[in-house]
Amino acid sequence: MKHHSKTTPCAPCNFHLLNIAELPPDLKLTQTLVFDFAGTWAIEVANTHSFSDVLGVDINWGMMTHNTRSRYGNLDFAAVDVEEPLPWPRGSFDVIHVKGLLLEISHYTRLIEKLAMVLRPGGLLAIVEIDPNHVSADGHQLPKCLRQWDACVRSALGGRGVDIDFPSRIGSVIANAGVFASNPYSQYLGVPASSHISRGDVNSAARSGQIHHQLLIANLRKTFSALVEYGYNRPDLEDMFSSCLAELTNPNATYVHRLYAVYATKAYQ
């Protein structure tokens, strides 16, 4: 099957991505399932669509902001082991959105198959994932420290069954699944992986199409912990971390990550 795609050159930018939070607010979605880290996206969807019952799901209950209430009282949270069969009947949801779970799960293709089962015919599946590899927006070769860092990430995540190259294949996997309409819409863009902003707040930086210095460090530290857990030598990683941070905060740096988004409707059988 063929699928439509829209590609955007990898460069730091404030690019508009189609997302379900920006669907017309009066669209009466009845059941919406949102898989995302910490539940923040589920809150935004619930606050935008007053007629939609939203269920925010993550694999780790402790990381979720499940004490937050939505504006309309239409939001619940759940922690679900996605490696097991999903705990909902077939056709339970009108919209399913998955955002940023690549590094948390293995066998992503199986997850898509499970999601297709609980999505009603005609329902919308939206998946947004980032390729964790660094890319030079100007086409130059990456410096040694970033090449080493990316290689370590690939090995560590691969040891957990995570395929970090999967984001680039989401569109073709969905198109060939046999249960979705033959025209899934896919797009990718480059999102900043280097930071020149150390003042202001994280959200303001994001709205300007940039990544805040504070968030950059937090993301690197999260990856650092995964590398230590995998067995890499901590002192060596600390040196690599410092070199990568210096490179990514260089005012002349133009590094990006590729973000892939795919939107597909389930076919009527």
**What digits encode the pLDDT tens for the residues 162-172?**
999 999 999 99
b/e per residue, 131-151, with b = 16+ CB within 10 A? bbbbbbbeeeebbebbebbbe
pTM of the model: 0.83
Q: Which two tokens stand for residue 43?
A: 């809150």
Helix orientation angle between 144-158 and 213-230, rounded to the nearest 10 degrees = 50
Taking the domains of the chain in order of start, what are their residue ranges?
4-129+164-190+260-265
- Backbone torsions φ then ψ of 67, nearest 5 degrees: -85, -5
Q: Which CATH number fits domain 4-129+164-190+260-265: 2.130.10.10, 3.40.50.150, 1.10.340.30, 3.40.50.620?
A: 3.40.50.150
Tell me the C-alpha distance between 53 and 32, whole Å.
6
- Closest CA relative to residue 191, chosen from 145, 126, 262, 134: 134
90-122: per-residue pLDDT in tens? 999 999 999 888 888 888 999 999 999 999 999
